[in-house]
């Protein structure tokens, strides 16, 4: 290697990384989310970052084109490795995991998983190519009580609340309503219509009406009927009357309405105005079969910061047992990134150090080192300044890293230790043999 | 997608995953390691999983052939994306990070990083293709006190001790000793000789002597001199006399000896027999320039479970400033995997749930749900059994998941709540309005 050739590093578009004072906030968030998930009995699992391509394609749906595959840089020609790709979500790997370890798991299986996922999309505002998702799912054999369709969104909501972020709202729908309704009005190509309705927020009702009418041989009234459903939204059960007013009779539709009502009723304990029945929520991934949910900032609709839904047969391509499940996912990186760009996230500490122990001069090093050890034993995060620099320089280091306390071992034997509060400037004598008294000085 | 075609999932060689009861132990380990790292003032950072291939190749050394590159499954022909590859360690990404964010960091910069890395090696016992490393590094501008060369191994040692694993020992060396000595005996192709000496443990002294002698035109005595150094090992400073007894005079050698002595002296507070000067430690990666360290289980030499060293110029290919550093890395996945295979790791809980709240019958659901909420507010991890099943079935679920307490809301109004300790079978009446008393019942 040449030491003279400099490869100037630059950010890779779509692969965010944070400075320490922001990473510490992300880490706090992950700790809090995990705590909420565990509070409801979800256990942690992790799966490899890769799956065999066949496993991903079994359920990839529309994201298929966004998969990153792996190649060994110097693969032999006769390399017989499985074809591997990075996972694009945590739901498909979880389904594969449940099928693979079926006999080792207790059902209903409730797991959380907080890992990075990868999508080879064109990078754009809020959309990274590598990002954290924080997922909970519950999967059971044969059937799964509808109560979970309310519980999981509620757990997700509690996780958002634990983050001290601007208020969010959850938008719920049920695929049975959409499909039943579209069947009821005589739509033949339901996947096409749902795909178009999913673009409603982006393209607006006029464009979508036109696209649909064109596909219906110019039948604008039919297109309008599709739109009418997708535009219904209520924070109570009035969505039911609004849908019935459209005069469509269909059994699947009624089943979906009753399920959505059940879920709405079971989310009544959440703050008023934070839960909506929103018939415009479609969810692109094709494995959802019942309840679907998306989460948005109240004051910033557009990009979903969380989503999920029920799937009756996600593991069906891996195992013959019927394994219905429901899962929700917090888009941690997107959420964090959006609030970073808005300047909402205040930087945290640049260092976890609570106390910097000063090295008064080289001859005092053993005492300084011993002091640091004692303080660590008391549970404090402590750094010892290793180079024999002027005290002013050591104080400046503490200041620039935001270390809140600086400890001065004595410059000569018999003198007291002192500790300085960097915020107030107050300096206090301390007794090394009564370190429990520190609790009153160091908060 | 067809529901009838079943893609039976199987483990992907080299990409381990664990059942929940083992994952929970891995997670505890990561929490403990992180706590130790923070106790010494290392801040958390994470870098993307990928780097541009050029950045990795700047320092990849011998691992170059093991890099995984990424390709978008459906990349366009005119796809102008940067050529990306998964990182094979956390040191090179850290060096790139420090260079890129140079103006945003405070030096000495001390960071920890616990992430997965990928190497496309042939999978074999203990060697995964995707694995966690837990790294700490300190990087400074221009110079870095030698005290860090002792502190970082000591922090690493403390992290191992926090894991309740079999005893480990640290083997320290200094590249200046190796290079100075080899120069001193007149070796020309030092990289070749160190590469061969690095295989000493695998191939044994006879084979290595032969290989070296062959390359020295049959000079067995010279080969034996190389071996003589690599076979020196002591848990005190006697290694210095042993090396001097070999009668080689070289300035770099003396500098290395004095550095290694300094480090050994500064690790004297660690338990006797856990720190060795081991002149056979070479470290393959070509960026180390001073102290090097490897960690082994005491009773299982062979595979290193941790390693690291000092590098004077790792960021040199990214930035013109001189940024010396030292770092050590815990091979978490390898460590965990080795102990799993030995049956050393006892499975933990299958679920974080502490209390399962029974649903006595459907009509009692509101009270059961409210009970679960109250218990969560007290800080307990609580699950509510959602389906209206026989109590026996609910108890069986708690038993199979290892949930330690089962809570019975009353079957009729006015009756008391009861909680059952699943281990002892003891059932106790509890008062919902005095939940703080639970501390004596639920440990």
* ipTM of model: 0.94
Task: Report whether pLDDT(A50) > 80.
Answer: yes
pLDDT digits (tens, 9 = 90+) for B358-383: 998 999 999 999 999 999 999 999 99
Residue to mutate among B4, B106, B403, with most A CBs inside 10 A, is: B106
Q: Is B65 in Cβ contact with A1 (below 8 Å)?
A: no
Q: Give residue B3's pLDDT.
A: 46
pLDDT digits (tens, 9 = 90+) for B204-221: 999 999 999 999 999 999
Residue that the structure tokens 């870098």 belong to: B47
Q: Is B73 in Cβ contact with A85 (below 8 Å)?
A: yes
Chain B residues in contact with A10 by the CB 8 A cut-off are 100
Task: Tell me phi and psi for residue B279, to 5 degrees.
Answer: -75, 0
Q: Which carries the bigger pLDDT value, residue B55 or residue A217?
A: A217
Q: Are B397 and A106 in contact (CB under 8 A)?
A: yes
Q: What is the mean pLDDT of residues A285-304?
A: 89
**B10 band by pLDDT with thresholds 50, 70 and 90:** confident
Q: Is A27 in Cβ contact with B382 (below 8 Å)?
A: no
Report CA-CA distances (Å) from B91 to A142, A350, B98, B141, B313.
48, 20, 10, 17, 12
Reported pTM? 0.95
DSSP labels, B268-297: TTSPTTSEEEETT---SSTT--SEEEEEEE
Task: Report whether pLDDT(B125) > 80.
Answer: no
* Helical H segments across B205-323, by residue range: 205-215, 220-230, 238-244, 251-265
In percent, the amount of chain B with pLDDT more than 90 equals 78
Q: Are A150 and B386 in contact (CB under 8 A)?
A: no
In this complex, which of B118, B130, B350 lies closest to A106 when CB atoms are compared? B350
Q: How far apart are the first and last CA of chain A?
A: 49
Q: Are B330 and B160 in contact (CB under 8 A)?
A: yes
pLDDT digits (tens, 9 = 90+) for A130-147: 999 999 999 999 999 999
pLDDT digits (tens, 9 = 90+) for B279-320: 999 886 678 999 999 999 999 888 899 999 999 888 887 888
CATH number at A355-440: 3.40.50.800
Q: Are A398 and A349 in contact (CB under 8 A)?
A: no
Q: Give residue A336's pLDDT.
A: 96
Q: What is the mean pLDDT of residues B131-147?
A: 97
Q: What is the mean pLDDT of residues A63-71?
A: 78
Which of A28-42, A78-92, B170-184 bottoms out in mean pLDDT, i.e. has the lowest?
A: A78-92
Q: What is the mean pLDDT of residues B73-100?
A: 83
Q: Is A105 in Cβ contact with B55 (below 8 Å)?
A: no
Q: Give residue A377's pLDDT.
A: 94
Q: Give residue B1's pLDDT.
A: 41
**B121 band by pLDDT with thresholds 50, 70 and 90:** confident
CATH number at A20-341: 3.30.930.10
Which of A78-87, A170-179, A258-267 bottoms out in mean pLDDT, i.e. has the lowest?
A: A78-87
Q: Which carries the bigger pLDDT value, residue B434 or residue B130?
A: B130
Task: Report whether pLDDT(A77) > 70.
Answer: no
Gap from B113 CA to chain A (nearest CA, Å): 11
Task: Report whether pLDDT(A182) > 70.
Answer: yes
Q: Is A45 in Cβ contact with B9 (below 8 Å)?
A: no
Report the C-alpha gap between B116 and B443 in whole angstroms. 35
Task: Tell me phi and psi for residue A248, to 5 degrees.
Answer: -110, 130
Q: What is the mean pLDDT of chain A?
A: 92
Sheet holding B233-234, edge to edge: B43-44, B109-118, B130-139, B325-330, B306-311, B291-297, B168-174, B275-278, B233-234
Q: What is the mean pLDDT of residues B65-91?
A: 80
Chain A, nearest residue to B120 by Cα: A72
Task: Report whether pLDDT(B330) > 60.
Answer: yes
Q: What is the mean pLDDT of chain B?
A: 92
Residue to mutate among B4, B8, B9, with most A CBs inside 10 A, is: B9
Report the C-alpha gap between B437 and B435 in whole angstroms. 5
Which of A257-271, B65-79, B115-129 bottoms out in mean pLDDT, i.e. has the lowest?
A: B65-79
Residue to mutate among A20, A144, A368, with most B CBs inside 10 A, is: A20
Q: Is A318 in Cβ contact with B8 (below 8 Å)?
A: yes
In percent, the amount of chain A with pLDDT more than 70 equals 94
SS (H, E, C) chain A: CCCCCCCCCCCCCCCCCCCHHHHHHHHHHHHHHHHHHHHCCCEECCCCCEEEHHHHHCCCHHHHHHCEEEEECCCCCCCCCCCEEECCCCHHHHHHHHHHCHHHCCCCEEEEEEEEEECCCCCECCECCEEEEEEEEEECCCCCCCHHHHHHHHHHHHHHHCCCCCCEEEEEEEHHHHHHHHHHCCCCCHHHHHHHHCCHHHHCHHHHHHHHHHHCCCCHHHHHHHHHHHCCEECCCHHHHHHHCCCCCCHHHHHHHHHHHHHHHCCCCCCCCCEEEECCCCCCCCCCCCEEEEEEECCECCCCCEEEEEECCHHHHCCCCCCCEEEEEECHHHHHHHHHHCCCCCCCCCCCCCEEECCCCHHHHHHHHHHHHHHHHCCCCEEECCCCCCHHHHHHHHHHHCCCEEEECCCCCCCCEEEEECCCCCEEEECHHHHHHHHHCCC
H-helix or E-strand spanning residue B137: strand B130-139
Q: Is A7 in Cβ contact with B318 (below 8 Å)?
A: yes
Q: How far apart are the first and last CA of chain B?
A: 49
In this complex, which of B12, B46, B85 lies closest to A73 when CB atoms are compared? B85
Q: Give residue A302's pLDDT.
A: 80
Q: What is the mean pLDDT of residues A251-260?
A: 98
**A414 band by pLDDT with thresholds 50, 70 and 90:** confident
Task: Report whether pLDDT(B435) > 70.
Answer: yes
Please report, for chain A, the start and end positions of each structural domain, with discontinuous segments joined by +: 20-341, 355-440
Chain B, nearest residue to A54 by Cα: B7
The first and second tokens of residue B73, run together, are 């499954």
Size of interface A-B (CB pairs under 8 A): 260
Task: Report whether pLDDT(A1) > 50.
Answer: no
Chain A residues in contact with B23 by the CB 8 A cut-off are 43-46
Task: Report whether pLDDT(B94) > 60.
Answer: yes
Q: Give residue A56's pLDDT.
A: 83
Residue of B94, B105, B85, B165 lying closest to B328 (CA atoms): B94
Task: Report whether pLDDT(A90) > 90.
Answer: yes
Residue to mutate among B33, B48, B97, B382, with most A CBs inside 10 A, is: B48
In percent, the amount of chain A with pLDDT more than 90 equals 78
């Amino acid at each position: 290697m040449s030491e003279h050739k400099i490869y100037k590093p630059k950010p890779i578009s779509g692969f965010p990384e944070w400075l320490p004072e922001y990473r510490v906030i992300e880490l706090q968030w992950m700790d809090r989310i995990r705590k909420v998930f565990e509070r409801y009995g979800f256990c942690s699992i992790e799966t490899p970052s890769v799956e065999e391509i066949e496993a991903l394609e079994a359920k990839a749906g529309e994201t298929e084109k966004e998969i990153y595959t792996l190649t060994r840089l110097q693969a032999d020609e006769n390399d017989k490795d499985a074809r591997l790709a990075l996972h694009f979500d945590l739901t498909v790997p979880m389904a594969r995991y449940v099928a693979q370890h079926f006999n080792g798991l207790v059902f209903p299986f409730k797991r959380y998983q907080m890992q990075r996922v990868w999508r080879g999309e064109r990078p754009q505002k809020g959309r990274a190519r590598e990002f954290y998702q924080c997922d909970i799912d519950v999967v059971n054999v044969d059937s799964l009580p509808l109560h979970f369709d309310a519980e999981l969104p509620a757990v997700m909501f509690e996780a958002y609340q634990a983050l001290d972020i601007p208020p969010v709202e959850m938008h719920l729908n049920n695929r049975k309503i959409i499909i039943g309704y579209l069947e009821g009005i005589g739509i033949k190509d339901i996947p096409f219509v749902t795909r178009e309705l999913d673009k409603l927020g982006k393209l607006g009702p006029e464009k979508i009406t036109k696209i649909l009418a064109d596909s219906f041989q110019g039948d604008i009234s039919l297109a309008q009927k599709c739109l009418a459903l997708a535009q219904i939204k209520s924070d109570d059960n009035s969505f039911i009357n609004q849908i019935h007013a459209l005069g469509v009779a269909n059994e699947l539709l009624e089943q979906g309405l009753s399920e959505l009502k059940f879920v709405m009723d079971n989310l009544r304990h959440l703050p008023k105005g934070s839960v909506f029945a929103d018939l415009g929520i479609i969810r692109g991934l094709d494995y959802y079969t019942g309840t679907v949910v998306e989460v948005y900032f109240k004051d910033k609709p557009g990009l979903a910061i969380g989503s999920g839904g029920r799937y009756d047969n996600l593991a069906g391509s891996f195992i013959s047992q019927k394994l219905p499940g429901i899962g929700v996912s917090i888009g941690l990186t997107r959420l964090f990134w959006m609030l970073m760009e808005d300047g909402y996230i205040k930087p945290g500490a640049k260092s976890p150090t609570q106390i910097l122990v000063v090295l008064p001069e080289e001859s005092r090093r053993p005492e300084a080192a011993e002091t640091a050890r004692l303080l660590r034993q008391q549970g404090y995060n402590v750094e010892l300044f290793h180079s024999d620099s002027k005290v002013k320089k050591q104080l400046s280091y503490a200041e620039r890293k935001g270390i809140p306390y600086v400890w001065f071992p004595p410059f000569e034997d018999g003198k007291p230790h002192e500790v300085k509060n960097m915020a107030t400037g107050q300096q206090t004598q301390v007794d090394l043999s009564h370190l429990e008294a520190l609790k009153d000085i160091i908060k």
